[in-house]
A and B are shown apart, each in its own frame.
Chain A
């Protein structure tokens, strides 16, 4: 046994191929044999003849010796070299096959690497799939903010629960003063002790919070976001120990968070919260990390039990409260699984198309190579041996295709990054990681198997080789089974192409719906910019108000500007502050009811193109000195007024407690506006007018409505007016439409990828069908010639040859429509306002694919029908 292993190893280590050694050995034998014959007086020629005769078939001897000695590795190596030789002898075929595979593998790998970064790993936190967001709700219909409080989190720290970490964060807007006194508007989040451990990203600089920071009367500190550190602090490596100065306080800097850390979204700095663990103040976003391999249903059961105990212990604030958990990834990026499934299925289908095309080429070649295969079989090659050879050949093709494809993918991803990196948050992390490489290798294996399958299956059919021998490559109808396989493949190609094109149509339609969906305001012809007035010259509230008023007057004077307004928040920015409210008719049990609030200048609704549906909007007469009023949105009316006439209602608001003195009447209702993103649901909002809400102005979102189709024309003028007022203020002016579009980047990426897929599918199907029909027509060359010699007209022949292709295309199209419908039904629940059976989309897909296919059929058929019968028959 050991001797055998060594013999094998020696065989492997030998540098010279086995054949050479065997040949050398046999040559030695023959020379000696000739000498022996010659010494008995036989003539040289006769001696040579005898020696060769006695040895038997030379080739056979070499082959059987090789079979004995060869290990599987030798066989693979031998087959691979043979494959390279045969492939290099047919460069056109090889080029076609390799480039199809390279395109297929390249496109799928590129798309996979993007999907991997943007969709598959949308969150940078370790084991992000364990993280959940935690909210609360009342089970008795009372209305609440859904935020969580310290007492609840204290209870959830019970180690018997399937939870490894809990954390809270509260977000607020602040103004940072840089060393030179220039103000920067930043988002600051207060976090509890569990927060940084839960998200588990190491700090980029410094040590972070220690437990004493979270004790009552402990020290204060701040952790900067990587972005703020690079921006406001210039990436200062000695930033720890310096002070983060805000207009209303400051704290020593303890460290810089990891570049990827972004919870709550948009946070520029984190402060330590010092909370009373028994407080029932519901003012925080809750997070928890699920113990690994625990199901969400188990968690929900355990949380329900905790909520019941809490309700029993604190019937007032905690009674009838329930916990709600959501996967953190869903709360951040929305549910991306549909997009992922659609994109990955399309990838798989594209690969099927590429494989079918190459399998076709191989099949067509196999039937041309039938003589070679039959001869090898007759010489004693076993069926398995021939199959292994065919498989090796396809593996060689697929390997070359993979190498080129990965190179192609690399280039494609670089291009994509240049084009879209700024559009998509996580795209900069697109990398060729192990997952992508594994994917490419899996693609290689699939392709190799896929493209070898057809020829090998054909080989496995009994009698095929005998028939190949008998037909001797001369055929009238071509090998029947080859034609059946070709027909099947055309059907597959057409069906897959129709499915992908229809799927692309659905996704594009969904995207367009989303894009053209009414966000509640008009983004056309409008510009927006942020204004932060926090230098020493704006310290006096009166000065800052007059300043803003003067700026607005100047901006209104710009040619083409129709309206200018300011607001504390802007849609698609998700920065509305949440305040507690108390309706005049509510009793004390309605605690912690929250609505978003926004402070606006009087002309805001007009400047945004919003509609006042009841009562009135704000006017310049709503001043600090007049009676305070409030305008609410339609959601506010639906949710909190319970059928009551809104114009008769009054409510008070405040944070962290409702301020009774703030009670004011509702004077108007405006339409709902989508805030976080276009697909987010609308929330109750109330609007206050600036003069009745603010003393001075620190931060202002300014919207400028113009009469231009492209508002960019007014950007320079707007910027100039701001600079004229304060040369140190540099503002970034963007069209509102761009702000809206930036919320759709992931959807846009998915749609763009699908458009690429659609084009790719049509291209591959066209090439494949063209090749197949051309091959089938060429096979029937002599048949056509015979028919024409016997008097068939060109039209007869044309119809004869194209009929089959057209019938097969129709069958493929029918199956494709069925598949597309099924896929549409599966996907329709994920797509935005799209019906699974959209006749326009299915019809267009059908017309496009069938049209292209028919052209791909008619061109080679037309060429075949122009054959000169005499020439063709002579050739045969």
Chain B
């Protein structure tokens, strides 16, 4: 598992987690990302959109152009059933991974 893949997987997971709370547009997801991770996990906003589009191509999120407040057109993303399934799976995997990492690190101390 190389670094990009790890990061990408993490980003997907975070996006799905945010969308689980409710549909949102790109900028909304981006600012939620920064809040959730308390600026600790800084992701480039540039990589957010390719990730969103990739998730959409996989069918894990779907999107719709909407006309929102003050007549602004925005693309709103929502999680799909496939997305929820992946989120659950990945959360388990991630927790298992985090657990084993912690064990390794604690043992090393």
- Chain A interfacial positions (CB closer than 8 Å to B): 2-4, 6-8, 21-22, 24-26, 28-29, 31-33, 36, 54-57, 60-61, 64-65, 67-69
User: Which residue of chain A lies nearest to B82 when distances are taken between CB atoms in the complex?
Assistant: A3
For A21, the chain B residues whose CB sits under 8 A away are: 65, 75
Contact B47 A56 (CB under 8 A): yes
Q: Which residue in B26, B44, B57, B58 is a CB contact (below 8 Å) of A25?
A: B26
Closest-CB distance, B85 to chain A (whole angstroms):
11
Task: Give 18 A-B contacts (CB < 8 Å), ordered by A residue.
Answer: A3-B58, A3-B60, A3-B82, A4-B57, A4-B58, A4-B59, A25-B26, A28-B74, A29-B45, A29-B49, A31-B72, A55-B44, A56-B45, A61-B49, A64-B50, A68-B54, A69-B53, A69-B56
How far is B53's CA from A603's CA once the two chains are assembled, in angstroms? 98
User: Which residue of chain A lies nearest to B59 when distances are taken between CB atoms in the complex?
Assistant: A3
How far is B58's CA from A64's CA once the two chains are assembled, in angstroms? 16
How far is B57's CA from A8's CA once the two chains are assembled, in angstroms? 7
Give the most central of A6, A24, A29: most B CB within 10 Å: A29
Q: Which residue in A2, A4, A65 is a CB contact (below 8 Å) of B50?
A: A65
User: Which residue of chain A lies nearest to B58 when distances are taken between CB atoms in the complex?
Assistant: A4
- Chain B interfacial positions (CB closer than 8 Å to A): 25-27, 30-31, 44-47, 49-50, 53-54, 56-60, 65, 72-75, 80, 82
Contact B50 A25 (CB under 8 A): no
Q: Which residue in A7, A24, A29, A68 is a CB contact (below 8 Å) of B27?
A: A29
Closest-CB distance, A48 to chain B (whole angstroms):
14
Q: Which residue in A6, A28, A36 is a CB contact (below 8 Å) of B26?
A: A28
The prevalent SS among residues of A at the interface is helix
User: Which residue of chain A lies nearest to B25 when distances are taken between CB atoms in the complex?
Assistant: A28
How far is B80's CA from A6's CA once the two chains are assembled, in angstroms? 13
Q: A7-B56, A36-B31 are contacts. A54–B45 as well, Cβ < 8 Å?
A: yes
Contact A24 B73 (CB under 8 A): yes
For B58, the chain A residues whose CB sits under 8 A away are: 3-4, 7
Contact B53 A68 (CB under 8 A): yes
Contact A56 B82 (CB under 8 A): no
Contact B49 A65 (CB under 8 A): yes
List the 9 shortest-distance A-B pairs measured between CB atoms, nearest first: A3-B59, A56-B46, A32-B27, A68-B53, A64-B50, A61-B46, A29-B27, A68-B54, A28-B74
Q: A29-B26, A32-B27 are contacts. A68–B44 as well, Cβ < 8 Å?
A: no
Q: A4-B57, A7-B57, A24-B73 are contacts. A29–B50 as well, Cβ < 8 Å?
A: no
How far is B26's CA from A29's CA once the two chains are assembled, in angstroms? 6
Q: Which residue in B30, B45, B50, B75 is a CB contact (below 8 Å) of A68?
A: B50
Closest-CB distance, A63 to chain B (whole angstroms):
9
Contact B59 A7 (CB under 8 A): yes
User: Which residue of chain A lies nearest to B72 when distances are taken between CB atoms in the complex?
Assistant: A28
Closest-CB distance, B86 to chain A (whole angstroms):
11
For B50, the chain A residues whose CB sits under 8 A away are: 61, 64-65, 67-68
Q: A3-B80, A56-B46, A60-B46 are contacts. A28–B57 as well, Cβ < 8 Å?
A: no
How far is B24's CA from A159's CA once the two chains are assembled, in angstroms? 81
For A24, the chain B residues whose CB sits under 8 A away are: 73, 75
For B49, the chain A residues whose CB sits under 8 A away are: 22, 25-26, 29, 61, 65
Q: A36-B31, A61-B50 are contacts. A28–B45 as well, Cβ < 8 Å?
A: no
For A55, the chain B residues whose CB sits under 8 A away are: 44-46
For A64, the chain B residues whose CB sits under 8 A away are: 46, 50
How far is B25's CA from A28's CA once the two chains are assembled, in angstroms? 9
Give the most central of B26, B30, B47, B57: most A CB within 10 Å: B57
Q: A28-B72, A56-B44, A57-B46 are contacts. A33–B53 as well, Cβ < 8 Å?
A: no
Closest-CB distance, B36 to chain A (whole angstroms):
16
Give the most central of B26, B46, B58: most A CB within 10 Å: B46
For B45, the chain A residues whose CB sits under 8 A away are: 29, 33, 54-56
Contact A25 B75 (CB under 8 A): yes
For B30, the chain A residues whose CB sits under 8 A away are: 29, 33
